[in-house]
Structure 1
Amino acid sequence: MFTHAQPETSHLDAVTREQLDSMLCRSLDDSTTSLHRAQTLSAQAWPADLTNDNASLTLLSLSSYQFHSLVLVITDSTRATCEVTDDHLLEMGNTFCGSLKRQLGQHLPNLGMSTPHALSVKCLPTLLDSCRLPLVAGCHDSRGLSITGWLLLPKDFELQLVTKTVDDAESTGELELF
């Protein structure tokens, strides 16, 4: 597990933090064509330059009655080997958030997901003001695009993911018709 520059937050236990980090990495892997697996990052590791004209921010939300969060995908196309369109970035954000929603849905039922919104990366400091410590994963895709996926949980929100064990029903080999 990555050692963060800021102290560990009190609203996430170590197991939950590790599960969320793993979910972020898996979601980023699902939404990119990376040659290397995504890794967790410190929120301060990227982006260093919020005035970069090649950086883009895609914002989505995940929410239910018991859970709410913001999901960000930030890309930097400075070293990209091909043109990256806004539609491609929005679809990447949608795929990333959808993968995260499926994984979190195993622990938090009835999650809803918003449509992706393109914002200026200069909005990041304002978005970060509403959370205690963001969870961040990053990778470089095969086209040179630098990509980070962020999960922003509210400052006052406590979360503990518990792995559910499901009893396998005994199979009798019969077919059921619905």
Structure 2
Amino acid sequence: MISAHARDSFERILHKAARSRLARSSHEPCEIVPRVVRQTGAATTPTEVDPVNQHANVVVLTISSIDFRMLLVLHFDEDDVTTAYFAGEERDKPFREVFVELGNLCCGAINQELLRYFPDLGMSTPYVLSARCVPHLSLLRPNLLASWDITLDGSVRLAATLCVCAHAPLDFNAEVSDAQDSSGELELF
């Protein structure tokens, strides 16, 4: 139900949002590479590492429309490197609060891009869960389920999973530019 153009569009929109909202600056390295996601029921050996569960926690964000429901799952650990990167100067705020805000900005950037093709979209409130819930996304019978490893500034490791459940055929070809978009950000005067 999701065309190849739409799959590619969702991926490009996600990559742009991650680069523009998760990285501290547009000049900072942001490497995004596809993960190999094991299919349900596949045989595993004890030495294999399940790539979906390599992080302890996830932030789940949802965008819904009449035609589809999209879950953006940002995988993270609360280690010293990640905490220092995202908390930065805001040491008075808890790490999770800062990370959830950035995840919400990332999802908002995706929402802004998708509004060009789907006029009626709604976003949910983000929530933090254990990464152990991620394998259960297959129970939603998604039409698109893909994951990427994200490395920021060469040392901060995250991951993103995109889960799209279509309620109607989806076919669009997003025109995604690399230009930094500031819509949705709060401006102070």
| TM surpasses 0.5 | yes
Match of 1:36 in 2: 29
Q: Give 1:47-66 correspondences, 5 Å limit.
A: 48=51, 50=53, 55-66=56-67
1:90 is aligned to 2:100: yes
DSSP 3-state at the match of 1:69: strand
Match of 1:8 in 2: none
TM-score by length of structure 2 reads 0.67
Using CA pairs below 8 Å that are at least 6 residues apart, which structure has the higher relative contact order?
Answer: 2
CA contact (8 A) 1:36 1:139 kept: no
Identify if the C-alpha distance between structure 1 residues 143 and 112 changes in structure 2 by more than 3 Å, giving closer, same or farther: same
In 1, the alpha carbon distance for the partners of 2:101 and 2:56 equals 16
- Is 86-95 or 149-158 further displaced after alignment? 149-158
- Which ranges of structure 2 fall in alignment gaps of 5 or more residues? 39-48, 88-94, 176-189
Match of 2:42 in 1: none
DSSP 3-state at the match of 1:17: helix
CA deviation digits over 1:145-170, x for unaligned, max 9?
21222221127653111569xxxxxx
Q: CA deviation at 1:20?
A: 1.4
- Is 131-140 or 40-49 further displaced after alignment? 40-49
In 2, the alpha carbon distance for the partners of 1:47 and 1:75 equals 15
Match of 1:110 in 2: 120
Q: CA deviation at 1:82?
A: 4.3
Identify if the C-alpha distance between structure 1 residues 28 and 124 changes in structure 2 by more than 3 Å, giving closer, same or farther: same
* Alignment counterpart, residue 145 of structure 1, candidates 150, 153, 156: 156
Report the aligned-residue RMSD. Answer: 2.9
Match of 1:171 in 2: none
Match of 1:23 in 2: 13
Match of 2:147 in 1: 136
- Which ranges of structure 1 fall in alignment gaps of 5 or more residues? 1-10, 165-178
In 1, the alpha carbon distance for the partners of 2:36 and 2:80 equals 21
* Percent identical: 21
In 2, the alpha carbon distance for the partners of 1:58 and 1:81 equals 14
Identify if the C-alpha distance between structure 1 residues 67 and 81 changes in structure 2 by more than 3 Å, giving closer, same or farther: closer
CA contact (8 A) 2:52 2:134 kept: no
* Alignment counterpart, residue 121 of structure 1, candidates 126, 131, 136: 131
Q: CA deviation at 1:94?
A: 0.3
1:100 is aligned to 2:110: yes
**AA paired with 1:118?**
V
Q: Which has the larger radius of gyration?
A: 1
Identify if the C-alpha distance between structure 1 residues 108 and 15 changes in structure 2 by more than 3 Å, giving closer, same or farther: same
TM-score by length of structure 1 reads 0.71
CA contact (8 A) 1:75 1:145 kept: no
CA contact (8 A) 2:74 2:160 kept: yes
In 2, the alpha carbon distance for the partners of 1:105 and 1:38 equals 26
